[in-house]
Amino acid sequence: MAQDNFSRVTEFILLGLSDTQELQLLFFTFFLLAYAMVLLGNILIIVTVRTDPKLASPMYFLLCNLSFIDICYTSVTTPRVLVALLSGHKAIAFEGCMAQLFFLHFVGSSEMFLLTVMAFDRYTAICRPLHYTAIMARRVCRALVAACWLGGFIHSIVQTVLMLQLPFCGPNTIHSYFCDVPPVVRLACADTTLTEWLMASNSGLISLGCFLVLVASYALILAKLRAHLSQGHWKALSTCASHVMAVTLLFMPCIFTYLRPAGTAPTSKYVCVIYTILSPMMNPLIYTLRSSEIKESMWRLRKR
């Protein structure tokens, strides 16, 4: 049947996490507190790094950018979830759904690339300390951050264009609390096998590739530190451990979600909570509690 004979879907219905009133109140409280922690924690990190000249190293420059990305990433989905839970209005326009999908992948993939750059920064600082200043100069850091945003934009454009090529004419109920590739592509009125494999190759391989690069970099760091366990190296090892914790929270659920065609098996919407809410919420705690410099700078900022 020709696509022109279909009536195009103009809006989707986001079912959310639960229909139970008590659970909706619980989820609203959780999302509100988590979003507040993301905003306050990451804004505090940005203000601290920007106002303290002692935090002018590349590591803190990248951390500042990570905090900004986390704010943007969570803001793509959480405010709408809060409004839906409070008002009961679960409909989202087709254009709004595509926009949410675009910005989710734009900011999310940029964060993955940035975490990979941060791992390279730690590898350079620990394994090549004499060349660190030259390799991670400020202009290089800015270029790497710009490349992360550009890579995220290209990835997201590809995802969105693939989605816009699909006809949506029948079911419009999304079994999730936000628009994402796996739940939306199942609603298409066409054979989506090729599209699903292309999307899995795009999102899934990016997630897996960045994660493998991160694992390899930290493995090299551990190999370097094994023979030199001085106090300074213990500090570096502690920093790397916190980074591993942060990237695991983000990458493992993403690999589970995207490294397979959307039609093979439904993705648990509760797994999505890990990389859309928990990971951005934990990043400020992980990076600040493991950094004495950040804590001391925050204490000086509080005194001022």
Residue 163 belongs to a domain with what CATH number? 1.20.1070.10
| 191 within domain boundaries | yes
Q: Does 5 have pLDDT greater than 60? A: no
pLDDT class of 263 with cuts at 50, 70, 90: low
| 213 within domain boundaries | yes
Q: Residue range 100-111: average pLDDT?
A: 94
| 262 within domain boundaries | yes
| 4 within domain boundaries | no
| 3 within domain boundaries | no
Centre a 10 Å sphere on the Cβ of residue 278 and count the other Cβ atoms it contains: 14
Amino acid at 135: I
Q: Name the domain count of the chain.
A: 1
259 in Cβ contact with 192 (< 8 Å): no
Please, what is the Cα angle at 283 between 277 and 287, to 5 degrees?
A: 170
Question: What predicted TM-score, i.e. pTM, was given to this entire model?
Answer: 0.88
Question: In which domain, by residue range, is 228 found?
Answer: 11-303
116 in Cβ contact with 108 (< 8 Å): no
| 57 within domain boundaries | yes
Q: Which residues touch 251 (CB under 8 Å, ≥6 apart)?
A: 112, 207, 210, 211, 214
| 79 within domain boundaries | yes
136-158 pLDDT, tens digit each: 998 999 999 999 999 999 999 99
Average pLDDT, the chain: 84
| 6 within domain boundaries | no
CA separation, residue 239 to residues 52, 56, 118, 197, 217 (Å):
20, 17, 11, 37, 13
Tally of CA atoms within 13 A in the half-sphere of 119 that contains its CB: 27
What was the pLDDT predicted at 237? 64
Q: Which residue has the higher pLDDT, 72 or 24?
A: 72
